[in-house]
Amino acid sequence: MKIGFISFIVLYISSLAISILPSYFKQKNNKPYRGLGASGAVSAIVFAYVLVNPMNFMGIMFIPVMLPAFLFGIIFLLVAFYLDRKQTGRINHSAHISGGIYGLLYMIVVFFTLEDINLPALFLDRIKIDSISDLFYFGI
């Protein structure tokens, strides 16, 4: 139990720093630019969860459609890439992208190093779609 707690804390704290790096390098000469928040670290946690539990349902608060975590993650990344290219609003989408990717890579390394588990293979083995109800869940 302790190793899981420590791994979680290390993931969260390290992803705070790692997820901001793309924005930092992109904006380092832009003096008025300000970036603040933990959304990149939250993305790392969400994608770590997606990798371990790909068939658990996830959704967005107040929207009554739930998707399997792996599908939610794919859509999340596609939307984040699109919005990052568009550069509208004051949301650091590149932090979401880099945080999510870091969360995936961190989990792969931790599972392989500590438990000798091939997490990508386990992820693919866990994706089972037998019917349309495995892809969508409507309701709260």
36-47: per-residue pLDDT in tens?
779 999 999 999
Instruction: Answer whether 79's CB lies under 8 Å from 2's CB.
Output: no
pTM: 0.90
What is the predicted pLDDT for the residue at 15?
A: 96
Nearest to 95 by CA among 18, 31, 13: 18
DSSP letter (8 states) at residue 20? T
Angle between the N-to-C axes of helices 39-52 and 2-18, in degrees from 0 to 180, rounded to the nearest 10: 130
Distance CA 28, CA 89 (A): 19
The domain limits of the chain are 2-26+38-128
Mean pLDDT in consecutive groups of 10 residues from the start of the chain, 140 residues: 89 94 84 80 97 95 93 95 84 91 97 95 96 87
* Rounded (5°) CA angle 138-52-117: 155
**HSE-up of 120 (CA within 13 Å, CB side)?**
5
What is the predicted pLDDT for the residue at 24?
A: 84
What is the predicted pLDDT for the residue at 30?
A: 81
Q: What share of the chain is helix, strand, coil (3-state, %, to 5)?
A: 65, 5, 30
**HSE-up of 9 (CA within 13 Å, CB side)?**
6
First to last CA, the chain: 31
Distance CA 104, CA 52 (A): 9
